């Protein structure tokens, strides 16, 4: 075995180095996952806005088909 790990000081230093490497790895993983979540959130928000727009368009089209005042709905579209 390596001479460094035979003493208590060497063992403590080895454990601290190992924990430091684990801490850096977990921090890097946390930052990476956070960036993925931000990207997913933007996609979900865009999909939600598109869904809301199609619901408004469908409602307006239904009102126009039922004979309500077309001007109000056409002005809102354009």
Q: What is the pLDDT of residues 18-40, one digit of tens each?
A: 999 999 999 999 999 988 888 88
Give the domain ranges of the chain: 34-78
The pLDDT tens digits for 45-76 are: 999 999 999 998 888 888 878 887 767 766 76
Q: For residue 40, give both structure tokens.
A: 């997913």
Question: How many Å apart are CA 13 and CA 5, to the nearest integer?
Answer: 8
CB 76 within 8 A of CB 60: yes
């Amino acid at each position: 075995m390596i001479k460094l790990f035979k003493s208590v000081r060497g063992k403590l230093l080895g454990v601290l180095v190992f924990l430091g490497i684990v801490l850096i790895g977990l921090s890097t993983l946390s930052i990476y996952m956070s960036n993925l979540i931000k990207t997913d959130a933007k996609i979900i928000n865009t999909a939600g806005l598109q869904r809301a727009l199609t619901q408004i368009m469908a409602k307006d089209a239904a009102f126009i088909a039922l004979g309500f005042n077309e001007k109000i709905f056409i002005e809102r579209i354009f």
